[in-house]
Amino acid sequence: MKKTGAQILCESLIKEGVEVIFGILGGAVLPIYDTFPQYPQLRHILVRHEQGAAHAADGYARATHKVGVCIATSGPGATNLVTGIANAYMDSSPVVAITGQVARPFIGKDAFQEADITGIMLPITKHNYLVSSAGELASTVKEAFHIAQTGRLGPVLIDIPRDVQQEEAEFVYPDKVDLPGYRFVSRGHSAQIKKAVKLINKAESPLIIAGRGITISQAYSELKELAEKAQIPVVTTLLGISSFPGNHILNLGMLGMHGTAYANLAVQNADLIIAIGMRFDDRATANTKGFAPYAHIIHIDIDPAEIGKNVPADVPIVGDVKNVLKAMNKEIDGKTHLEWLSQLDQWKYEHPSLEIGQSDKLLPQYVIRQIYEATQGDAIVVTGVGQNQMWAAQHFVYTKPNSLISAGGLGTMGFELPGAMGAKVGCPEETVWCIAGDGGFQMTIQELATITQENIAIKIAIINNGYLGMVRQWQELFYEHRYVDTKLWNPDFVKIAEAYDIPGIRVKHREEVIPAIYKAMDYPGAFLIDFVVEPEENVYPIVPPGESLTKILEPPRPEVLGKGAKY
């Protein structure tokens, strides 16, 4: 039976198991929207800015391990998706973006709302399509979903001219894809695995660096088995947080620019690094010249392009980390590494990096810690970018797999609100906390309307320091305290929330924190807390930009100094 391109698209999405689409309509996607009522199984969530649609699809994808879908009209609708798609690309998040394009006869004529979106998105998508006939749509959707969710995950764009949406064609959904040029390796090479096992079995001070690849391939138990069997301590990248229990004795926390001192010291003193599903991002490695000077490096990643890109690997293993770890674990000897672990304990004692100082002031770290205490880790935390993100990474204890969602690679302010929205839509049973910066929150603040219209019951904690805090911190530490344009005049966020029909309260004092958090959690719908925190609090430890991981600046407050900590 013949169907229109728009119907073929909807039926194909249903075949792929899609339940939710985030988007905004416009002329070039009207035929698609016009068919939505025929497919009530597809829930469309009307956002207020296309950037929000892309971030929501990304948050949904990360929280559910499914593909997130967003849709926008041609021209400005499509270009508004760009930041969100780039964000998904940098963090290997499987998103399929659908855009309307001007009708085929108008392409290349600078038609109204025409933009070469496949050209624009070429470097920020894993693949993209400009669909030239309705007959191609079904196989295009099949391919797009296959590419987005296999190998190294990532976003795929399908650009569909308006007249293709209206054209009729036979609908047959293919069983398989035919992509001879698209290959990925999921099983690691056995000889490489043997080499790695040999190194692990003879290492004296081994260290695991766990990245987002663990979460993507859901290799939590395999990672735990490796760490526990051979007593190997684990440090995580920002996106690797929650791939290994935050309260595990072998977990040293995050490495890198804002990593714990002991995680960074572990990297710099290890004789073997087992880097798993991570890409040696510069925020994790600091200056690569001085990175892990004594270590052999085993690098396990599904993407061969990552091997040797930033840090050379002695034993590269290309494959899905779950499969590779399974194979490796069979051959690993039980070990205790007593000397190494006691050295690490010593560093922990000397550098208590994450102790929160005793203070009458409202410290942002305390706020995050109390959200952890109230939830006991049973929540998904979605952060903004900057200080709030680092405090959320440091002071919440992520005991549950995949419980931190954050814009790591692109560092996109404004991700927090729509990202949290997407996570909550995907996981309605979960408590979702949006930890927002007062700056970042205002970049996608309009999504409060979506939250109310669609009843998305997220809890929003604004870490309101009245500054573009992380940049102010850099001005303080590296630009001799010259605060140029980082101070923010802010609106009354509680009144803003109320205007969007979301209850909110302001918290200015320490003793108000816990009751406010419980009030938010007890409320059945969305709730906002404006935490007016100490404005010039800094994120510590910090490795200054350009330095190597051993140059660790720790907090200069006497009350949090550990014995023997040096500055």
Q: Smallest distance from the beta carbon of 7 to ligand TPP, in angstroms?
A: 38
Tell whether residue 386 is a contact of ligand TPP (CB under 6 A): yes
User: Which of 135, 290, 411, 503 is close enough to bind ligand TPP by CB under 6 A?
Assistant: 411
Segment 188 to 227, residues that bind ligand TPP, using CB under 6 A: none
What stretches of 332-386 show up as alpha helix (H) in DSSP?
A: 338-350, 364-375
Q: Which amino acid is at 149?
A: Q
Segment 478 to 497, residues that bind ligand TPP, using CB under 6 A: none
Tell whether residue 412 is a contact of ligand TPP (CB under 6 A): yes
Q: Smallest distance from the beta carbon of 175 to ligand TPP, in angstroms?
A: 42
Return the one option of Mg ion, ligand TPP, none that residue 402 interacts with (CB less than 5 to 8 A, by type): none
User: Which of 58, 114, 222, 438 is close enough to bind Mg ion by CB under 5 A?
Assistant: 438
Count of beta carbons in the 10 Å neighbourhood of residue 190 = 10
Rounded Cα distance between 48 and 414, Å, is 13
Q: Smallest distance from the beta carbon of 282 to ligand TPP, in angstroms?
A: 15
Q: Which is nearer to ligand TPP, 235 or 390 (CB)?
A: 390
Tell whether residue 465 is a contact of Mg ion (CB under 5 A): yes
Rounded Cα distance between 41 and 245, Å, is 36
Segment 418 to 477, residues that bind ligand TPP, using CB under 6 A: 437-440, 463, 465, 467-471
* CA 448 to each of CA 48, 58, 332, 444: distance values in angstroms, whole numbers, following the listed order: 9, 18, 50, 9
Rounded Cα distance between 400 and 218, Å, is 12
Q: Which is nearer to ligand TPP, 258 or 337 (CB)?
A: 258
Q: Which is nearer to ligand TPP, 27 or 535 (CB)?
A: 535
Count of beta carbons in the 10 Å neighbourhood of residue 234 = 26
**Residue 381, both tokens:** 């935390």
User: Could you please report the per-residue DSSP string of 39-86?
Assistant: -TTSEEEE-SSHHHHHHHHHHHHHHHSS-EEEEE-TTHHHHHTHHHHH
Query: x/- string (CB under 6 A) for ligand TPP, residues 299-328?
Result: ------------------------------
Q: Which part of the chain contacts ligand TPP (CB under 6 A), choosing from 67-75, 195-203, 259-267, 384-392? A: 384-392
Q: Smallest distance from the beta carbon of 393 to ligand TPP, in angstroms?
A: 12
Return the one option of Mg ion, ligand TPP, none that residue 454 interacts with (CB less than 5 to 8 A, by type): none
Q: Smallest distance from the beta carbon of 443 to ligand TPP, in angstroms?
A: 6
Q: Which is nearer to ligand TPP, 151 or 466 (CB)?
A: 466
Q: Which is nearer to Mg ion, 215 or 387 (CB)?
A: 387
Tell whether residue 319 is a contact of Mg ion (CB under 5 A): no
Contact 417, 469 (CB under 8 A): no
Q: Smallest distance from the beta carbon of 440 to Mg ion, in angstroms?
A: 8
* H helix or E strand, kind and range, residue 101: strand 95-101
Return the one option of Mg ion, ligand TPP, none that residue 412 interacts with (CB less than 5 to 8 A, by type): ligand TPP
Q: Which is nearer to ligand TPP, 482 or 563 (CB)?
A: 482
b/e burial code for range 423-445 (CB count within 10 A of at least 16 → b): bbbbbeebbbbbbbbbbbbbbbb
Q: Which part of the chain contacts Mg ion (CB under 5 A), choosing from 239-247, 254-262, 442-450, 460-468? A: 460-468
Which of 479, 475, 444 minimizes the C-alpha distance to 458?
444
User: Which of 437, 504, 541, 555 is close enough to bind Mg ion by CB under 5 A?
Assistant: 437
Which of 394, 436, 438, 446 minimizes the C-alpha distance to 415?
436
Tell whether residue 385 is a contact of ligand TPP (CB under 6 A): yes
Contact 87, 407 (CB under 8 A): yes
Rounded Cα distance between 560 and 567, Å, is 13
Binding-residue total with ligand TPP (CB under 6 A): 20
Sheet holding 380-383, edge to edge: 404-405, 380-383, 432-437, 459-464, 527-532, 504-507
Q: How many Å is the Cα radius of gyration of the chain?
A: 24
Tell whether residue 530 is a contact of Mg ion (CB under 5 A): no
Instruction: Characterise 499 by phi-psi region: left (phi > 0), alpha (psi -120 to 50), beta (else).
Output: alpha
What are the residues binding ligand TPP (CB under 6 A)?
384-388, 411-414, 437-440, 463, 465, 467-471
The residue ranges that bind Mg ion (CB under 5 A) are 437-439, 465, 467, 469
